[in-house]
Structure 1
Amino acid sequence: MRAFLKVSIAMAIVGHVSIFAEGQPNFIIIYADDMGYGDLGCYGAEGYETPELDRMAKQGIRFTDFSTSSSVCTPSRAGLLTGRFAQRWGHDNKVYFPHSKGGMPPSEITIAELLKEKGYQTALIGKWHLGHRAKFLPTAQGFDLYYGIPYSNDMWQAPETPLADNIVFNEGMTRENYLEGGKKKYHNQVPLMAGTEVIEWPVDQATLTKRYTEKAQAFITVNKEQPFFLYLAHAMPHVPLYATEEFKGKTERGLYGDVIEELDWSVGQILNTLKKNGLDKNTLVIFTSDNGPYLGGKEHGGSSGPLRDGKFTAYEGGCRVPCIAWQPGTVPAGVECDVQTSTLDLFPTFAALADVAVPSDRPIDGLDIRSLLKGDFKNIPERDWYLYRGQAIRVGDWKYVYDKKRDQLFNLAEDVGEKKNLAKQYPEKTEALAKRLAEVQSELSGTK
């Protein structure tokens, strides 16, 4: 398995050996929605610019082999927050809808719940998508503050969700309209929630990125004297696309480029807020995406770069996403890391950094990657296997995909675009990985 870091010349000369800041570090996860591997300037994007994220990468670590736990929203977000594949609690790799009655079980332990044990203030600003009913909402899963839409921005309203007394109805809507419910009539018109109530319907999506950013800045400022965990889960660039007037029509790439540039602006605002409050050196910021691009969106969809396919698939374009880690003076600057890493790893890593024990009563699929974040290039964590959407498995650089009733085998070190099927050339390797995939599927379905 490949396991090395490309270190900047300046870093190599200095010999970076820093450790994480004393005391309790703050944590921020900025999660884009449907952003592809090739959608940032530092990952090869063209037609628009991402100067803030490119600068973040120059000041931190840019991961080139970082994957989500699934190529669709719900299981991906569950994996991020729990460090576990969602199949372990019976999820089927689909997404929840406004008519869905289920959600991630309250028995699952999130990063927020873990950090609450150490006195952290916690906030989710943005998309949840792990169940919109009261017992599944963020406020029941360790988050002190919740402000956002409960599922994807292309959905509709769930009429059973309580409305705030002072709810704002936009576009001539009324309480009666809301209670009618229904996808056909109110498609793409989603509610904005605060806590457990709807405070605006339908939310003005053109202002979401800006409003989420301002809410995040306020949370950081209010909690600057105590440890905090902020999960900023943007609605964009999931379709339908929206941007404020300030950003619309700015790029050669059209609305998609405009949306990405506004997300880039948002990241800059968050980092500047940390610096202004003297929190930059004690806050670990992770920027990544929930899955690969929605290629069906055509000009409204993103790019997988050199990777095969996108959202919904088990190929690299579905699960491998951009990821940047930033904490000046602690996370080494100018580093490119191609060690296989994952959103699953954030749960055990944050736990270790906050000095809180990982639950021992359940399997955790993520790895502690503190060594990488510290610039330790000798003690590199390696995983036994990695699952993609329940139908592909990776062991080292070898990846087996079972698609359309045919075996596919790829060597990602030599063929990251998964263009050359080696199944016939390496039948024993193919058979071994097919067997391992079946074993893992059985193991996951048998755990809770």
Structure 2
Amino acid sequence: MKILQLISFFFFMIPFTAFSTKREQAPNVIIFLADDAGYADFGFMGSKDLKTPNIDRIAEQGVHFTDFHVTGSVCAPSRAGLMTGRYQHRFGAEFNYSSKEEGVPTSEIMLSEFLKEHGYKTAAYGKWHLGEIPEYHPNKRGFDEFYGFLGGHRKYFADEKDDNPERNTAMQHNGEYITFDGYLTDELGNSASDFITANKENPFFIYLAYNAVHTPMQATEEDMALFEGHPRQILAAMTWALDRSIGNVMQTLKDEGIDDNTIVIFLSDNGGPTGQNMSSNLPLKGTKGTEFEGGHRVACAMRWNGKIEAGSKFEKLTSAFDLFPTIAEAAGINTEPKNKLDGVALQPYLSGENTSAPHDKLFWRITPWAAARFGEMKVVRADTFGIGLYNLRKDIGEVENLATEKPEELAKIKSELVNWENQMAEPFGKRSPDWEEVKGYMYSDYLNNDTIRFYTPYQLKAYRKTLLNKK
């Protein structure tokens, strides 16, 4: 009788155990990465003129980071830091790539590779910009699925020139060049939704790297009509499409019943290039490509229902390279990647278990300019153009240069910056001399307390002309 009871108990427990395993499945993860979005251009960041209800909902249902930074102020370096969980300077990826042979070395372990190794299904959609040669291809860097383009930007509609397979702008699916219909921002979201439906029974990681709102400035006629008369009409329409695409992906999570077991993260790859796409980084100084706050402090929100307090704010110093260890810990992965991460898992800080800041110092460099953050103080070093010291708690706009007033503090942070630089690798690639000259003059003006804000491409073009006439 006891044997029969044990057999009955064993068979009774089988479906219960299977059900429990499914309920305790590692969380799915989606990173929504915007391109060149302004710090102030989302509702949860205070925007009144750009409409982003779906992105705002991520912040409303989770945490909104107020002092969150990417590791690079331009596209490719920022993405390299995000995907490796390390300062990209450690492996030389300091600039946007100047040749097809450059990219994130295969000696670096990407988040996608790490998660795939631990049972995740993985997909990347949109802009890659982390290397073009075969060994750098997304399908060789841990992604089961890739639908997107390898370069830094392209048009939002099918285009004969951009869709030439000889160009890094051509759309491809797992290495095969394809054409597409419709508006690319919507296409990328639809593809992600299809992947969710096909892989809902498995833990999955989706890296949805939109090219919106990077130039060229293109929107559908329908979206443009919604914002007729808007002073930033094209940007408003493109941002609306970005928000719609994200909303559709989020709805798919609900429809498939996996919303509560999915971590959703939204951020931009760097600050907005105001003069190119009319984005706004206010009240921050600087734009994409500078080491002022407007270059690397970005809007970021993360939601994980039941795990992160809804509507919370996290105001301590945080970096995009923290996402790698945060996701790994959430996935229950106890092994460490072979390369030591610079980021830290954020769970103890978000829960209040650890009341200190994830970081007391962070560094940035895009030679010849660099910056170092120590607590509330920040140094911006512009080499021959000067140096600035700012108290960000009192002066988030980096207006009052305290370099002369606090020489000892300046010297201490400068020394720490140099020590950090000595640990980094020699960068590969190079920068455009013309771009460098114009940005250099901008640094000089900014360091001299100038608070110029560019709002239209025409204003920037006029300013560039003025700068180059200073020679």
Measured against the shorter chain, the TM-score band is 0.7 to 0.9
- Structure 2 residue corresponding to 1:433, chosen from 395, 405, 413: 413
Cα separation, 1, equivalents of 2:144 and 2:69 = 28
Q: CA deviation at 1:372?
A: 3.8
Question: Unaligned stretches of 5+ in structure 2?
Answer: 1-22, 428-471
Distance 1:174 1:388 in 2: 33
Structure 1 residue aligned with 2:460: none
Inter-CA distance 386–243: structure 2 relative to 1 (3 Å threshold): same
**Larger RCO: Structure 1 or Structure 2 (Cα < 8 Å, ≥ 6 residues apart)?**
1
Residues matched between the structures, number = 399
> Counterpart in 1 of 2:348?
371
Question: Among the aligned pairs, what percent are the same residue?
Answer: 39
Preserved CA contact (<8 Å) 2:346 2:358: no
Task: State the secondary structure of the residue aligned to 2:345.
Answer: coil
* Residue 235 of structure 2 is aligned to residue 256 of structure 1: yes
Matches within 5 A, 1:293-372: 293-297=272-276, 300-357=277-334, 359=336, 361-372=338-349
1:212 to 185, 188, 194: 188
Letter in structure 1 aligned against 2:176: E
1:229 has 2:230 as partner: no
- Alignment match, 2:131: 131
Moved more, 307-316 or 243-252: 243-252
Question: Equivalences for 1:43-442 in 2 at 5 Å?
Answer: 43-91=45-93, 93-96=94-97, 99-154=99-154, 179=166, 190-200=169-179, 207-251=183-227, 252=230, 253-297=232-276, 300-357=277-334, 359=336, 361-373=338-350, 375-376=351-352, 378-390=354-366, 391-405=370-384, 406-442=386-422
**What's the offset of the Cα at 1:416?**
0.9
2:451 is matched with which residue?
A: none
CA displacement at 1:386 relative to structure 2? 0.6
Which region of structure 1 is more displaced relative to structure 2, 231-240 or 103-112? 103-112
Q: What is the CA RMSD across the aligned residues, in angstroms?
A: 2.5
In the alignment, what sits opposite 2:5?
Answer: none
Q: Which residue of 2 aligns with 1:12?
A: none
The alpha-carbon deviation at position 247 of structure 1 amounts to: 1.4
Q: CA-to-partner distance for each residue in 1:120-143, whole Å, 9 max, x for gaps?
A: 000001111011111101111101
Q: Which deviates the most, 45-54 or 309-318?
A: 45-54
- Alpha-carbon offset, residue 403 of structure 1: 1.4
Q: 1: distance between equivalents of 2:202 and 2:162?
A: 41
Closer/same/farther in 2, CA of residues 171 and 323 from structure 1, 3 Å limit: closer
- 1:213 positional shift: 0.6
The answer to which structure has the higher helix fraction is 2
- SS of aligned partner of 1:388: strand
Q: Post-superposition shift, 1:384?
A: 4.3
Instruction: Decide whether the 8 Å contact of 1:134 with 1:196 is kept in 2.
Output: no
Deviation at 1:55, TM superposition (A): 2.2
Task: Measure the CA separation in 2 of the matches of 1:272 and 1:121.
Answer: 20
List gaps (5 residues or longer) in structure 1.
1-20, 156-168, 182-188
Given that 1:313 and 1:389 are in contact with CA atoms closer than 8 Å, whether structure 2 keeps it comes out as: no
Query: How far, CA to CA, are the matches of 1:136 and 1:174 in structure 2?
Result: 21
When residues 178 and 80 of structure 1 are mapped into structure 2, their CA distance, relative to the original with a 3 A threshold, is closer
Q: 1:446/1:383 Cα in 2 relative to 1: closer, same or farther (>3 Å)?
A: farther
TM-score relative to the length of structure 2: 0.80
- Is residue 293–residue 304 contact of structure 1 (8 Å, CA) maintained in 2? yes
Residue from 39, 42, 55 that aligns with 2:41: 39
Q: CA deviation at 1:378?
A: 4.2
Letter in 1 for 2:363: L
User: Given residue 124 of structure 2, which amino acid in structure 1 is its aligned partner?
Assistant: L
Deviations 1:41-99 (A, max 9, x none): 121223231111222211111111111000001110011110011111122x22125x4
Structure index of larger Rg: 2
Larger deviation: 48-57 or 412-421?
A: 48-57
CA–CA distance in structure 1, aligned partners of residues 162 and 51 of structure 2: 40
SS in 1 for 2:222: coil
Shift of 1:170: 5.8
The one-letter code of the counterpart of 2:106 is P
Q: Is the 8 A contact 1:242 1:259 kept in 2?
A: yes
